[in-house]
Amino acid sequence: MERIDPSRFASLKGFDDGWRERFARNPHLAKYVAGLLERSLPPPELVEKLSRDMAAIKKPNLLYPVGDPVYIHLYVDPETKGLRYHPVEPRLKKDRERILADVEKILAANIDEMDVPEDSSAREQVLYKLIDKLFPLNSLIKTPSGLELKIDRELYSCLKYELYCEKIGVSLLEPMIRDPFIEDIHCSGVGPIFLHHKIFGHMESSISFQTFEELDGFVMKLSEYVGKPVSHRSPIVDAKLPDGSRINIVFGEDISQRGSNFTIRKFATKPLSIIELIKFGTLSSVLAAYLWLLLEERMSIWICGETASGKTTTLSAITAFIPPSAKIVSIEEVPEVHVPHENWIREVVRETGNAASEEAGAVSMFQLLKAALRQRPTYIIVGEIRGQEGAIAFQAMQTGHPVLATFHAASVNRLVQRLTGSPINIPKTYIDNLNAVLIQSAVHNPKSGRYERRVLSVNEILGYEPAEQQFNFVEVVSWEPSTDTFEFRGMGSSYLLENKIAIMKGISKYELRKIYEELETRAKILEYMLKLGILDYYDVWKTLVWVYNVGVNHAFEKLRQNYRAKVESSKEAVAVKA
């Protein structure tokens, strides 16, 4: 392959020394971009890293790295006018299946499976050493099927990447798994794979399956990769990938007419912080400060909404408000919730057969929640309540254990209907053990033209009136869609702040304004954290721990001083430039 001089791409927007090095060490990348320019296609903007602000771009044409040697070209398809996701990888083009089959035989003859380590990074090193030994650069290799392979730089890179994807990675899905901005991966049958991008929303990928046989073969390999092989007898599999992502597989044309299908819900390696959620407009600083007060005083809060409304993201973000001295036990089917505390017990369902049952050694949510009550936790977090574990959660709240959870319900009324109906069957008079319900949804933002997460309301549960046969609750926070703003209606009328939080803080009923003043102070602390650029999940956690140690008022004054110093410094910098 003729090497392409990286200087050829110097006119591209975003080109710098970093991109010069990328083009130099990745011939496939240089070849791809050169091909775009030769065909007079719109040149992509080279981006080091995507940001949420890019959601405002109407017609993105971006090229960004997701870990060498993989790059993603995201652009508007000229025919469909929809967004298209194209991975740029060092893939074999000619005789791919034959070459990989031959290389597999050569590897199998030169490796002892007993010596292969379980750790993925160690396996990667073993694989690369074998490739260097068996397929050295500038050598000529004759394969078992009679092919002669001249191992030049291009073929070496392709073999190295292809074997990594097949032996350690996730085959054709490797770029999407690497990409931190991909949220969901959908294969609905024969045809293209679709994606949901965290910034740009729904899009079609350039990876597709042309035949039922090709798709079935890939799905079977994928199910073996997660350790739960599918078959016509057992065609449905729920499992998780090594990074914790959830995967659902349906195998065969007899139950899925467009062929086998799979859906992957990716696992976020680092959660979004509460300050990032404020920045993105998911909630307001006042709403966050209100949740902070509730969690500090051990109130039970459930986050409700439809699928993919961001419930778990919000739950992970607000755990930073729990006092640092607390002991937390979390219970989940798939580990998704993040908790920054050191004293955190993370328990996960064991699926041996049917995880919803207690047969064949399975450990269900119900069992884990019962066990959690004996572990003397300060807080219990349930990843998602669906069935009989809901009854145990209410028993926990009744015995003084605050419970945080997510729940599928689009309103408080729907929540109550599900709780009081089968299979949860909570007595109506027990409902007020749940203190607050947060309703969240994905809503259409007319400015960006895309769906974004918003907290629609926060509601305080007052209880059940037997005489009137109705449930009473107060909506203390509501989202106004026309202005994309949040209205805090609890000022002077919040039952929890005035009748529970104030009492716990020693505030008399004649000085209730103090609890609202503290709410405003905490909201300003969060706003200063945003202005000072304290966004990272763990940086936010460290700052909140500091606030707990020095006190709210002292922290407020210190952050205000830091912000003023930052403003003065920026003014001086502008003056010097002028």
pLDDT score at 182: 95
Residue carrying structure tokens 């909630």: 283
Q: How far is it, in rounded angstroms, from Cα 288 to Cα 279?
A: 12
**Assigned fold of 274-509:** Rossmann fold (3.40.50)
Q: Give the C-alpha separation, 95 to 374, whole Å.
A: 60
Return the H-helix or E-strand segment holding 444: strand 436-445
CA–CA gap between residue 410 and residue 111 (Å, rounded) = 55
CA separation for the pair 47, 219 (Å, rounded): 33
- C-alpha dihedral, 489 to 490 to 492 to 496, nearest 10°: 170
Could you report the average pLDDT of every consecutive run of 10 residues in the chain (578 residues)? Answer: 84 96 94 94 94 88 96 95 96 90 89 70 87 91 89 92 93 95 95 94 95 95 92 90 89 90 88 95 97 97 92 96 96 88 91 50 84 91 86 88 94 92 89 95 78 93 83 93 90 89 91 94 98 96 97 97 91 66
Give the CA distances from residue 105 to residues 109, 112, 305, in Å, rounded to whole numbers and listed in that order: 6, 13, 51
> Going edge to edge, which strands form the sheet with 83-88?
45-46, 62-65, 71-76, 83-88, 201-209, 191-197, 182-187, 261-265, 246-250, 236-240
Q: In 3-state terms, what secondary structure has residue 274?
A: helix
d(CA 142, CA 155): 14
Task: Say what the pLDDT of residue 356 is.
Answer: 44
pTM: 0.83
Residue 424: how many CB atoms within 10 A of its CB? 19
Neighbours of 17 (CB within 10 A): 8
pLDDT value for 391: 87
The confidence score (pLDDT) of residue 360 equals 57
Residue in the structure block whose two tokens are 């499976």: 113
Domain positions in the chain are 96-172, 274-509
Residue labelled with tokens 């974004």: 452
How high is the pLDDT of residue 208?
96
Q: Which two tokens mark 543?
A: 């700052």
Q: Tell me, what's the pLDDT at 113? A: 63
List the end-to-end C-alpha distance of the chain, in Å, as a whole number.
51
* Measured distance CA(161)–CA(234) in Å, rounded: 32
| Per-residue pLDDT, 450 | 74
Cis peptide before 423 (omega within 30 of 0): yes
DSSP category for residue 3: P
Beta strand 485-488 pairing with 201-209 = unpaired
